[in-house]
Amino acid sequence: MPHIPHDTSLDSTLALVGDPYRFISRRCKHYQSNLFQTRLGLRKIICMTGPEAAALFYDEDRFVRRGVAPGWLKKTLFGKGGVQGLDGEAHRHRKQMFMSLMGPERVERLRAMTAERWQVYVQTWSGMDRVVLYDEVNELLTTAVCEWAGVPLAEPEVGRRTEELMAMFDRAAALSPAHLWSRLARRRAERWIGNLIEEVRAGRLKPPEESAAWVIAMHRDLKGDLLDRHTAAVELINVLRPTVAVSVFIVFAAMALHHYPRCREKLAAGEPGFSDLFAQEVRRFYPFFPAVMARVRQDFEWKGYRFPEGWLVALDLYGTNHDLQTWDAPDEFRPERFRHWDGNPFNFIPQGGGDHYVNHRCPGEWNAMELVKVAAGFLAKSVTYDVPEQDLSIDYARLPALPRSRFVICNVKESE
């Protein structure tokens, strides 16, 4: 039986923290293998990269998600009791609740509401000396998703709620007091949304029946019970937070327009289908989620390698999107490559892999695509702006990776 290559360091936590996006692919290259084993926080883990590994990872008979997320991530990014830690029937049932919110009309509604916000924000930006795009887009998306999800948000609250939703993903992995702010932000957001769930159930607030606030407040589990207040809040935040996090892709879309002016020209000219190709390439090329984790359900063998029960397994998302065997010149930004993409659900996995109605877990892929397309269309067609001197290098050691300057623009004007 072949042995899974063993990383020589006693524990790889520091190496992972230092280079989270390339930690797995660099070691796989070094060991000339698509997998290796190591320890993270002293727990044994098998790290894997590439489409074959992804297809294995999404085999639900072999892996479970329960108890996989470390405590610090549950206290910030995920929350406790949410869909991320469910398996089997309970997972399918909860996931269906999310999918019911993402039908084509609902996605189109979010797109339209967000496009209206872009119009309003662009007017404000035209009166500002300097616009930090990342900060502004976080706020723009907060206002849009709250309206879409049936969550009332009064004007004076916008700044505070934006900060809370953003801190849960932007500072979760910070190695500084910012991490504590991320925890506090989650506690505050859970209180805010927990109160809202109670208001809806008591009939004092009546969001539209197709909205996330209503659907989640009224959702019943497999036993026919309403979700408890806390779990319902975690799940509604599971819609709000990642929608705001699309700001990361939008900032990278702005970077791409800046670095590849040919793309801006094609978007401005309205070349048919190009905005889809562009949004796909933004999600493939730039870093966002480095990896996903699961636990081996029971001992099994794969290609002769032994996967022992209970071991953690990490699948490399960023590295798989840059896999040399799948992608021609993966480190070049080429939207046209998606004209010929084979649609394989395991070789392009920015939001995880698998079939949307079978084993893919992220329900927000269509929303993310539309929000990136709206933003790219606006930036390419509806406004002009300058990109002043700034540090646009990407900080790959932070999670999520971002350009160090957060992308600053100035002289913003609506196009004639």
The least distance separating ligand HEM from the CB of residue 6, rounded to whole angstroms, comes to 26
Q: CB of 1: closest distance to ligand HEM in angstroms? A: 28
Measured from the CB atom, is 194 or 363 closer to ligand HEM? 363
Which is nearer to ligand HEM, 144 or 200 (by Cβ)? Answer: 144
CB of residue 243 vs ligand HEM: minimum separation in angstroms?
4
Q: Give the angle 284-319-15 at the CA atoms, nearest 5°.
A: 130
Least Å from the CB of residue 411 to ligand HEM: 29
**Planar angle of CA 315, 287, 32, nearest 5 degrees:** 45
Residues in contact with ligand HEM by the rule CB under 6 A: 83-84, 95, 98, 238-239, 242-243, 245-246, 249, 288-289, 292, 350-352, 361-364, 367-368
Which of 194/345 has CB closer to ligand HEM? 345
Q: How far is the CB of 353 from ligand HEM (least distance, A)?
A: 7
The minimum distance between CB 351 and ligand HEM, in angstroms, equals 4
User: Least distance from C-beta 283 to ligand HEM, angstroms?
Assistant: 7
Using the minimum distance from each CB to ligand HEM, give the nearer residue, 319 or 352. 352
- Residue 276: burial class (beta carbons within 10 Å; 0-12, 13-18, 19+): middle
Q: CB nearer to ligand HEM: give 266 or 406.
A: 406
Our CB check for ligand HEM shows the closer of 98 and 134 to be 98
Which residue has the closest beta carbon to ligand HEM? Answer: 364
Cβ–Cβ under 8 Å, residues 57 and 353: yes
Q: Which is nearer to ligand HEM, 141 or 409 (CB)?
A: 141
Q: What's the rounded Cα separation, in Å, for the pair 143 and 253? A: 20
> Nearest approach, Cβ of 238 to ligand HEM (angstroms)?
4
For ligand HEM, the closer of residues 57 and 385 by Cβ is 57
